[in-house]
Structure 1
Amino acid sequence: MMLSRTSRLNLGLGACLSCGLATAAADAPSVHVYNWYDYIGATTLKDFQRDTGIQPVYDTFDSGEVLEAKLMTGRSGYDVVVASNFILPALIKAGALQKLDRSQLPNLKHLDPVLLEKIRANDPDNQYAIPYLWGTDGLGYNVDKVKAALGSDAPVNSWDLLFKEENLAKLSQCGVALLDAPAEVMPIALHYLGLSPNSSNPDDYKKAQALLLKLRPYITYFDSSKIQSDLSNGDICLALTWSGTVFGAKQAADQAGKGVKVEYSIPIEGAPLWIDNLVLVKDSQHPAEGLTFINYMLRPEVTAAATDLALTANANKDATALASAEVRNSPNIYPSAEVIAKLFTLQPQPHAIERVRTRAWSNITSGR
């Protein structure tokens, strides 16, 4: 995951596209797609229909938990969805996804083998998932406000900025936000404590809970949808969030021209790497059209358009050169090999541990 990566587009965009495309001839072949609401090029759906004659019926979501629940219950009505790497094992185990007929996906040749290898941790034989866009969890911050609170030597490149109580106490005066995402925040806390981010030891979660409860009085809110706007407006000065969210906030702040300086850092201790993937739903009513859509999304120019819009790296080795220089040259969007080596992927946990984590998160967010 995961929850939404950025919120640069109005939620209504997906709905409007869906409504507009639904007016196409009723007898036209169709494909039903469920995606994050900012994860496709501005003209891609229209271009796809023009080029293939297939009508895309497109819906959007901003919560990975919503997506997972919809697929787990079955009969979602979708053919292709975009699923984050850490929920893939559960979906595969539940039989919610189809194995992909790779002979129908000639554009697989464009995929980056490094990202294909990374996703093997969640899709062992690369049978179900096609890596699409990827990024990191890290720290988004207001340059001037953090400097005012902590001085010019503020540890903006370290998790100490967030997890050291003396730092957070000062930053609380200008606003601190965390993703409302226990499956991501709890592993980061575990990692900071020197424990496995994918621990299956209940005692480890007690330690992570204790750390976060100590910090709870200084956290303004837990939310996954308003961090971008609050960062760009200067309403908060620190956020644990997704990379794309911060890049969107920075772009919005720069365009507003009000002097709000937003930056992003991948902490030197390491951070989660998430990969969002194109998958084919098991009970798809239009599997052939679904494969056609996936293959179309693998066109370098199509992937590049999504990268530029989402301000997020892609897994298409031939698309990066087509992306804007601003995106492809950003070390936070496309980190160095040294930084990538410290990134870790998240794994689903047994139900017993999920319950422990859920209870811990409830205690943390409520301050109990």
Structure 2
Amino acid sequence: MRKRFAIALIFILLMNLTGCAGSASSKETDENTLYVYNWGEYIDPDILTMFTEETGIEVVYDEYETNEIMYPKIKAGAVNYDLVCPSDYMITKMIENDLLQEIDFENIPDHQNIGKEYWKMAEGFDPGNHYAMPYVFGTVGILYNKTMVKEKVDSWGILWDPKYKDEILMQDSVRDAFLVAEKYLGYSLNTTDEDELQESKKLLQQQKELVQAYVIDQVRDKMIGNEAALGVIYSGEAIYTQRENPDLDYVIPKEGTTLWMDCWVIPKNAQHKENAEKFLNFLCRADIAYKNFDYITYSTPNMAARELIEDEDIKNSPIAFPDLSKYDLETQISLGETADRHLNDLWREVKSY
């Protein structure tokens, strides 16, 4: 969800790739094209070039910043993407609204490289594993600078400590911001109970004067640059930040957090399903999945790729591959249109407080 080196929604032209989002409407007549819509910096660009060189299929690649930006575009059908990479709860919403078509896994033999436990996890939002192929997974936790924070960091509560005023970065994402408050209060991150939502909103409003900024990708950059002491971040980004700044550490708070998964799906109006399935099989290949993991640093569910990891620190990293039994973890689910609107209203109240 997540995730993830997100940048403002832009249309980019990658090396050896052709086309742009505006030309997607003409793809019905372009059989050797694949239209992909993904989070920013969420794939190794070399992989797209390699796929084109091996198959002759040109990849037109667009990026989005959040699930909430992606969804209305897919729902409107203004651009016929062949592959999209939403998060768990959004996949449920897309299935419920008949926006996806089933994937033919017989055309993706290398999908067997994905661990069984991750297929089981995906069944929580894609019953029967018909529509979604696991891509990456992870947690949301606290990234902190050990030179600025001397006390033990093990609770979401530290994000309300006045001594860190203007040193705290929060995610500018309604579900990820509310999960922090909800878990700290001991509630489910999927709660729709009005009293619990109001209490979570008030807690976030109380925190606002301590927050330096509500951001997404800037959490990574600001923490690397020692511009903040604490930040809510996705685990994959935490791995990257530690490579750049060894003073940073990541923790899953004792109150628990989300265990999220982003998956590839094929929209209902996709015009190049065969090309999409070829690309998915390519991504599942051990060497390609490993190369991609090394670039994006988000946890891969591809067990064959993990065998190729030579760095023991990464291979045994509790951030990249945590012992999931040690934590209170929930997967975000779709709350429904009415609840989503209400939660967005509450988030606006927090931001405008």
Normalised to the residue count of structure 1, the TM-score between the two structures is: 0.88
Aligned to 2:26: none
Distance (whole Å) between structure 2 residues aligned to residue 271 and residue 234 of structure 1 = 25
CA shift, 1:5, in A, is: 0.8
1:246 CA displacement: 2.3
Question: What amino acid does structure 2 have at the position aligned with 1:22?
Answer: T
Note if 1:177 corresponds to 2:169: yes
Q: State yes or no: 1:330 paired with 2:317.
A: yes
Alpha carbons 1:31, 1:55 under 8 Å: kept: yes
Contact (CA 8 Å) 2:237, 2:298: kept in 1 or not?
no
Partners of 1:290 and 1:245 in 2: how far apart? 27
1:173-204: CA deviation from partner (whole Å, max 9, x where unpaired): 5x111001111221332122122221121221
1:314 shift after superposition = 0.8
The AA in structure 2 aligned to 1:193 is: L
Cα distance, 1:146–1:309 mapped onto 2, change above 3 Å: same
Please state whether the residue corresponding to 1:247 is helix, strand or coil: helix
5+ long unaligned stretches in structure 2? 20-28
Aligned pairs for 1:1-368 within 5 A: 1-2=1-2, 4-6=3-5, 15-17=12-14, 20-22=16-18, 29-147=32-150, 154-162=151-159, 165=160, 168-173=161-166, 175-254=167-246, 261-325=247-311, 326-339=313-326, 342-367=328-353
The number of residues matched between the two structures is 343
* Distance change in 2, residues 1:231/1:11 (3 Å): farther
Q: Under a length normalisation based on structure 2, what TM-score does the superposition of the two structures give?
A: 0.91
Q: CA RMSD in A?
A: 2.1
Q: Is the 8 A contact 1:155 1:161 kept in 2?
A: no
- What is the DSSP-based 3-state SS (H/G/I as helix, E as strand, rest coil) of the residue aligned with 2:187? coil
Question: How far apart, CA to CA, are the structure 2 residues paired with 1:349 and 1:312?
Answer: 26
Please give the alpha-carbon distance, in whole angstroms, between the structure 2 residues aligned to 1:65 and 1:323.
34
Contact 2:13–2:61 (8 Å) recurs in 1: no
Asked whether the 8 Å contact 1:231–1:237 carries over to 2, the reply is yes
Contact 2:309–2:315 at 8 Å: present in 1 too?
yes
Do the aligned residues in 2 keep the contact of 1:40 with 1:306 (CA within 8 Å)?
yes
C-alpha deviation, 1:328, in angstroms: 2.0
- CA shift for structure 1 position 342: 2.3
Identity of aligned residues (%): 27
The answer as to whether partners of 1:311 and 1:327 remain within 8 angstroms in 2 is no
CA distance in 2, matches of 1:116, 1:219: 37
Q: Structure 1 stretches (4+) deviating beyond 4 angstroms? A: 9-12
- Note the C-alpha offset of 1:137: 0.5
> In structure 2, how many angstroms separate the alpha carbons of the residues matched to 1:223 and 1:10?
11
Q: Deviations over 1:287-346 (max 9, x none)?
A: 11111111111111111112111111111111112235243221111101423x522100
Q: What's 1:150 paired with?
A: none
Q: Is the 8 A contact 1:119 1:131 kept in 2?
A: yes
SS at match of 2:257: coil
Provide the C-alpha distance between the structure 2 equivalents of 1:324 and 1:209, rounded to a whole number of angstroms. Answer: 45
CA shift, 1:125, in A, is: 1.1
How far has the Cα of 1:27 moved from its partner?
6.1
- 8 Å Cα contact 2:299-2:321 kept in structure 1: yes
Q: Deviation of residue 136 (structure 1)?
A: 0.8
